[in-house]
Amino acid sequence: MSEFVTDSDWAEFKSKLKNKTEIDLDLYKAPQMQRRISNLVKRAGFPSFSAYFDHVCKNKDDFAEFIEYLTINVSEFFRNSDRFDQLENDIIPYLMERSPKLNIWSAGCSIGAEPYSLSMIMKDKTPNMKHRILASDLDIEILAKAKAGVYSASEIKAMTPERKSKYMVEQDGKFAVKPEIKSCIEFKRHNLLKDKFETGFDLILCRNVVIYFTEEAKDQLYAHFFEALKPGGILFVGATEAILNFRRLGYTSYKPFFYQRPL
């Protein structure tokens, strides 16, 4: 515990948060989460986590801002562009050799940049084929932003000029995703650490989501992803999230940060 946190205050805060949001902080690394949240509490001038939580619950906008901060909703289109190039030019063509119509899941989709990036790739590759792209997140407010599909210039900075012209509409300094790209996405609220998983996916992306999860929670999540993939399906993780024990979980390594459920 840091000097700012007491056992009883942390326990009360976790209980209140779980009851209101279903977010279970016991599945996250306590020291990192305590440091992250204590910065907010100190800046707001409250003596405890519990008192701060009671305060933000009184205002819908304050609470939404707190949850967005807590769930680390930072994203951009084609994030880590070299990995997205590999996805576009190697992984997806490989998967389409086995299944022309792909079932894809962007798990922890945040503001929607990732599933929209996927939709653009699939539209370029197969303009007359509608693949299924499921985009899920725990945060209802951030899902609303994702569904709106309006972004700043910095959020689309990795997008090629060709795709920006083809799939985005500029309005008042912002950039809106065109309907033909939005219509390919199915947005859904889903708690990765609690809810049941669908199955039958060719490709699952879960990138920059598990940074504060405990090792036990990560193992459980990756095991569930394994069961959710088709044989031969691929899991794509973040650039700092290599799965060191992938063999024990049943995966093979297809490429760095791409893990396959064996055929």
Q: Are strands 150-151 and 174-177 parallel, antiparallel or unpaired?
A: antiparallel
- What's the pLDDT tens digit per position in 147-159? 999 999 989 999 9
With bands split at pLDDT 50, 70 and 90, how would you rate the model's confidence at 2?
A: very low
Q: Are residues 103 and 220 in the same domain?
A: yes
Tell me how far apart the alpha carbons of residues 225 and 203 are, in angstroms, rounded to a whole number.
10
Residue 99 lies in a domain: yes
Residue 138 inside a domain? The answer is yes
Is 56 in the same domain as 13?
A: yes
| Domain match, 89 and 43 both | no
What is the reported pLDDT for 3?
Answer: 55
**Residue range 54-91, pLDDT digits in tens:** 999 999 888 888 887 777 666 789 988 899 999 999 99
Domain membership of residue 1 (yes or no) is: no
Query: Which two three-digit tokens encode residue 111?
Result: 């503001």
202-234 tens-digit pLDDT:
999 999 888 879 999 999 999 999 999 999 999
Domain that holds residue 137: 81-260
pLDDT tens digit string along 29-44?
888 889 888 888 988 8
Is residue 76 included in any domain, yes or no?
A: no
C-alpha distances in angstroms, 158 versus 80, 108, 117, 170? 8, 20, 10, 16
**CA-atom Rg of the chain in angstroms:** 19
> Is the same domain home to 123 and 50?
no
In the predicted structure, residue 1 carries a pLDDT above the cut 60:
no
Residues 132 and 179 in one domain: yes
Q: How far apart are CA 164 and CA 168, in angstroms?
A: 5
Q: State whether 201 and 126 are in the same domain.
A: yes
Structure tokens at 237: 């993780």
Q: Of the residues 50, 70, 90, which one is the last residue of a structural domain? A: 70
Residues 160 and 204 placed together within one structural domain of the fold: yes
Contacts of 123 (CB under 8 A, 6+ apart): 167, 180, 181, 184
Question: Domain check: are 44 and 146 in the same one?
Answer: no
- Looking at the structure, tell me whether residues 148 and 237 fall in a common domain: yes
Provide the CATH number for the domain around residue 221: 3.40.50.150
Q: Are residues 66 and 187 in the same domain?
A: no
Does any domain span residue 11? yes
Number of domains in the chain: 2
Same domain, 161 and 207: yes
Whole-angstrom Cα distance, residue 29 to residue 36? 11
